Amino acid sequence: MTKKAFSPLPFRTLEEPISYFRPRQDMPERVNFASPAVECMTDLRQVAAVAVGMERTVDEALSRMRKRGVRLLLVTDDEATVYGLITARDIQGEKPMKLAQKLGDKPGQLLVRDLMTLQGRLEVLAFAEVLKSQVGDIIATLKAAGRQHALVVDHDPIADGRLALRGILSMSQIGRQLGLPLDTADRATTFAELEAALNR
Query: What is the structure's pLDDT at 80?
Result: 87
Q: Between these two residues, 59 and 193, which has the higher pLDDT value?
A: 59
* Confidence band, pLDDT 50/70/90 cuts, at residue 184: low
Distance, in Å, from the CA atom of 43 to the CA atom of 106, rounded to the nearest integer, reads: 36
Task: Give every strand in the sheet of 51-52, ordered side by side.
Answer: 51-52, 72-76, 82-87, 117-118
Domains of the chain: residue spans and CATH: 37-199 (3.10.580.10)
Query: What is the structure's pLDDT at 189?
Result: 46
Query: What is the structure's pLDDT at 171?
Result: 93
Is the pLDDT score of 187 beyond 50? Answer: no
Q: What is the chain's mean pLDDT, rounded?
A: 87
pTM of the entire predicted model: 0.80
Phi/psi for 98 (5° steps) reads: -65, -45
Distance, in Å, from the CA atom of 140 to the CA atom of 144, rounded to the nearest integer, reads: 6
Is the pLDDT score of 143 beyond 80? Answer: yes
